Amino acid sequence: MRELVLDTETTGIDPKQGHRVIEIGAIELVNHVPTGETYHVYINPEREVEQGAFEVHGLSTEFLADFPNFAGIADGFLEFAGDATFVIHNAKFDMAFLNAELTRLGHPPMPMERAIDTLAMARRKFPGAQASLDALCRRFEINNAHRELHGALVDADLLASVYLELIGGRQPGLELAREEKAGEEAMPEIRTAVARPPRPHAPSAEELAAHAALLEKLKDPIWNRSDAAE
């Protein structure tokens, strides 16, 4: 099972207003295990980056001017993505932007069913709790000290760790295994008893002699009295 933990940065918050994708970062997982393969590009949006967006990710219009536009990276991105499932935090946002870019170039949009939304997963698992990427890093004790600004590849890397925790840690089914182990410890194995040969209990000659000598020393033992049987 191949998954891409993916994140984007954009010029603004709404592709319907003409905002564009300016960065894509992805981490490859196979059977929930990182393979070390990554995808990362900066993209010239061919428009200004809004100030509010710049304050989030720090990518300026001037910095992006020398990179290819989306048309220049589209084929490479689609080749890397293949038919993998996307793992995205707030998938509706990123998928809307990616599909806006693809349809602009005449490519068919990608279905939402292709994406796993970790934001929705976190809200189901921890109702009422904060579900931002930073909050989930704190919950799962994932070090995000290097995340001063949003960045697509940095965020995808952090999200990969969060996702693996949300599905039960790096070993899926670990909690079930622990419960089974605890059950085994609570109910120890019942072994069938093995009959032992009878041990000899008859006293030796020395023991009988010692017992007789002890009886001779007793005066008026209770078992010799006439009322002992009553």
Catalytic positions are 150
C-alpha span between 61 and 145 (Å, rounded): 26
Strand partners, 34: 29
- Residue-level length of the chain: 230
Q: What is the dihedral of CA 42, 44, 48, 53, to 10 degrees?
A: -20
| Of 136, 34, 138, 52, residue with least CA distance to 90 | 136
Strand partners, 90: none
**Tokens 């579900």 belong to which residue?**
131
Strand spans (E) along the chain: 2-10, 21-30, 33-42, 85-88, 115-117
Residue 142's CB is within 10 A of a number of other CB atoms, namely 18
| Tokens coding 80 | 């890397």
**Tokens 């921890």 belong to which residue?**
126
| Tokens coding 113 | 């069913």
